[in-house]
């Protein structure tokens, strides 16, 4: 499996001892990103510099997809990459993954996060937050899909 680095700020993915792949979100200070509140209304979140690193503050009950600046390439046949939030982020920061992102060849990797705490959560660019794992999806188990009008 190969990864293509699309952003100069991107942090190389790292393989942990359990053969999971850790990913870090990347964004610059002053970058505007879309987020969604509890009423599913889109609003911008602007990152800023905190302790010499770009960071953003995610309000309570807010969801967003954090860019990693990485595109997955050359996945093994019959596999997809599933990306969710690392468990320590859930326990320590109060964020979780509302729906793991399933990535195929040629697609950019994002980390879906949802602040389920009652306080602001600070997310720092370059800090490992996502956890990827390969999932085997046999082609013979895929059902055909038909469209009806």
pLDDT the model gives residue 35: 96
pLDDT the model gives residue 51: 81
pLDDT the model gives residue 99: 85
The CA distances from residue 126 to 77, 98, 103, in Å, are 30, 21, 20
pLDDT the model gives residue 142: 57
Q: Which residues of the chain have pLDDT under 70?
A: 140-149
pLDDT the model gives residue 77: 86
pLDDT the model gives residue 9: 86
Largest distance between two CA atoms of the chain: 55
pLDDT the model gives residue 91: 85
pLDDT the model gives residue 2: 87
Q: For each of the domains in the chain, give its residue range(s) and CATH number, in order of start.
A: 2-137 (2.70.40.10)
Contacts of 86 (CB under 8 A, 6+ apart): 22, 128, 129, 130, 131
The reported pTM is: 0.86
Would you give the DSSP letter of residue 94? Answer: -
């Amino acid at each position: 499996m190969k990864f293509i680095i699309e952003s100069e700020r991107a942090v190389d993915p790292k393989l942990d001892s359990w053969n999971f792949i850790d990913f870090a979100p990347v964004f610059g200070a002053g970058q505007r990103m879309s987020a969604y509140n509890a009423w599913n209304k889109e609003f911008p979140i602007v990152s800023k510099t905190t302790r010499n690193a770009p960071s953003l503050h995610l309000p309570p009950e807010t969801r967003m997809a954090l860019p990693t600046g990485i595109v997955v390439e050359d996945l093994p046949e019959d596999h997809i990459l599933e990306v969710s939030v690392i468990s320590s982020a859930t326990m320590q920061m109060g964020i979780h993954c509302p729906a793991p992102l399933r990535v195929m060849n040629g697609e950019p990797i994002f980390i879906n996060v949802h602040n389920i705490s009652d306080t602001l959560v600070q997310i720092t660019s370059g800090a490992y937050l996502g956890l990827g794992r390969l999932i085997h999806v046999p082609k013979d188990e895929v059902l055909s899909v038909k469209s009806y009008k």
